[in-house]
Structure 1
């Protein structure tokens, strides 16, 4: 509640003046100066075919397993700097290395630039020798929606899918229905945010319809996607969006875990140092990744157990043949 009041007091007057995207980007970058990686997490800046990216490597993490992270910001804001602290703590809790990428943003680079960059990063990991089953996608807000669009694009292209995906309040419907606007109308901060991101969605989609499946992945056919973890808060703008996507994905047979929290503003995961609910959410995300690896190990063990009797029969047959 205190965080919500602080954000309302700090941002509502600014939002009413409708600052430029450049001004908002600068504000976020200045704010990121006070966000630091957790202790024991190391940073390595790289470039992927010209795109800025960085490895975030927690000590004692499994180097074979990668969290490919796509940051949020309505497809127009955000950077490696603004999300580095969040990605660092999530990677540390998951016991994985993370690759974060600075995909191109609207309005300078509308759809499909961000999706193309996400595809580039995923394919780069495969070329580097990482197995799809050792990769988990993750993203928040627009980055979460981009994760879902990436899954649909990979499936439709018959490319190997990652082990799972995590959406932290993912934005999957750029239409942002009128019902959502009506629900948040009594909350000044939420209403201003909803109206802003509705405009950003148009900047990202540009010439594409907002209902195009790779722009708004809730419009896509969602069959044959890997396990998903979706987190949201009932007090944020994208709550309806997340629930709608989860319901549709479940009906399509996708294993979906939906975790709803109460009374938290959008982008609440970024405030993990201040909010115990954010730390709880990130711990639950880590538990989800551990369950994915445990399921893989159980499946591999079952396969070994099935093959073992056959191997014994073959050995016995060879022995009899020698006799």
Structure 2
């Protein structure tokens, strides 16, 4: 029996944005996520030792990034990709997540602001994510300093980019210490609108609406990211469709029970295990999509996120 919805989360849901795809525009989605982040301005962000804005290589030129450091000695390095349905989200909306990741893993975290649709469609975000990771790997002495302890991480659409980047790194001979996939989108085939494809993942109907992220909003996001629905068959958009997952970096995968993406995230964890990849899966009982941003309000969310980050720290500490 699944844990009931956390009552604190239940009170938060009506206050969350991105609820009406019929009226949502890319600009309004971006503004609403920025407003949500700004609403927390009165609460001091988690303190790290240093924060600096830099540029890293993207798929078509330099892109912005932000570096978070705790301590000054050698450390792991994590390339972090923010969520927001590929369309929204930026360095500001995910500043607190990046800080918590740095604090709790001890890593130097490089948060990457990839190009977004509709201005840049698939595979632009993926190309930026992989190019940035390769650039950071080649310049690792400027960051944590240890190429054996490089990882990728991301939430939601960022989890999708982290998973695809981990596959690309495997193929390019870049050995990652780990990948941290937080409620990732892993299979966009059907653009979340196809009845037969949706039936493969019961959470898309069980959690279709009422728990912040809806299936209809995922359809809206995928429609903006993928100029051609056929692009969803590409593993760079749907890592679950990759021909092989063997040899990819060990993973920590988190899902949330009340999330339409729950089952495709769990399916990716199982597929990784079946391919011989070491995986730790956190199921997120009682939680919804986006709970990593709710830990300062919900104790259930805070504890689950901390457990997952602790497991990722183990991978980074172990190295390759």
Verify: 1:37 aligned to 2:37, yes or no. Answer: no
Q: Which residue of 1 aligns with 2:198?
A: 178
Distance 2:262 2:126 in 1: 23
| Larger helix proportion of the pair | 1
The structure-2 alpha-carbon separation of the partners of 1:217 and 1:7, relative to structure 1 and needing over 3 Å to count, comes to same
- 148, 156, 169: which is aligned to 1:154? 169
> In the comparison of the two structures, how many residue pairs are matched?
293
Correspondence 1:13-92 to 2 at 5 A: 15=20, 18-33=23-38, 34-35=40-41, 36-49=44-57, 50-58=62-70, 60=71, 62-92=73-103
Distance 2:10 2:268 in 1: 29
**CA offsets per residue over residues 119-163 of structure 1, 9 Å max, x none?**
22112212213443221111101101110101112222x321211
**CA offsets per residue over residues 203-240 of structure 1, 9 Å max, x none?**
21213521211110000021111110001121112110
Correspondence 1:131-150 to 2 at 5 A: 131-150=146-165
Verify: 1:193 aligned to 2:214, yes or no. Answer: yes
Structure 1, unmatched stretches of 5+, are 300-323
User: Contact (CA 8 Å) 1:61, 1:97: kept in 2 or not?
Assistant: no
Q: Which residue of 2 aligns with 1:310?
A: none
Verify: 1:261 aligned to 2:276, yes or no. Answer: no
**CA offsets per residue over residues 270-303 of structure 1, 9 Å max, x none?**
112112223223322332234225544xx9xxxx
Distance 2:272 2:18 in 1: 38
Structure (1 or 2) with the larger CA radius of gyration: 1
Distance 1:255 1:95 in 2: 22
- 260, 281, 288: which is aligned to 1:237? 260
Structure 2, unmatched stretches of 5+, are 1-5
Q: Which secondary structure state, in structure 1, belongs to the residue aligned with residue 78 of structure 2? A: strand
The structure-2 alpha-carbon separation of the partners of 1:61 and 1:290, relative to structure 1 and needing over 3 Å to count, comes to farther
Give the TM-score normalised by structure 2: 0.84
Higher relative contact order (CA 8 A, sep 6+): 2
Distance 1:165 1:145 in 2: 11
Q: Which residue of 1 aligns with 2:298?
A: 275
Distance 1:287 1:223 in 2: 24
Q: Which secondary structure state, in structure 2, belongs to the residue aligned with residue 86 of structure 1? A: helix
The structure-2 alpha-carbon separation of the partners of 1:45 and 1:212, relative to structure 1 and needing over 3 Å to count, comes to same
Runs of 4+ in 1 over 6 A off after TM superposition: none
Distance 2:288 2:299 in 1: 14
Give the TM-score normalised by structure 1: 0.83
Distance 2:147 2:315 in 1: 13
**CA offsets per residue over residues 223-274 of structure 1, 9 Å max, x none?**
1111100011211121101111111111111111111121211011011211
User: Contact (CA 8 Å) 1:62, 1:95: kept in 2 or not?
Assistant: no
Distance 1:62 1:140 in 2: 27
The structure-2 alpha-carbon separation of the partners of 1:63 and 1:55, relative to structure 1 and needing over 3 Å to count, comes to farther
User: Contact (CA 8 Å) 1:140, 1:170: kept in 2 or not?
Assistant: yes
- Deviation, 1:117, is 0.9
- 231, 234, 239: which is aligned to 1:209? 231
Distance 1:100 1:247 in 2: 28
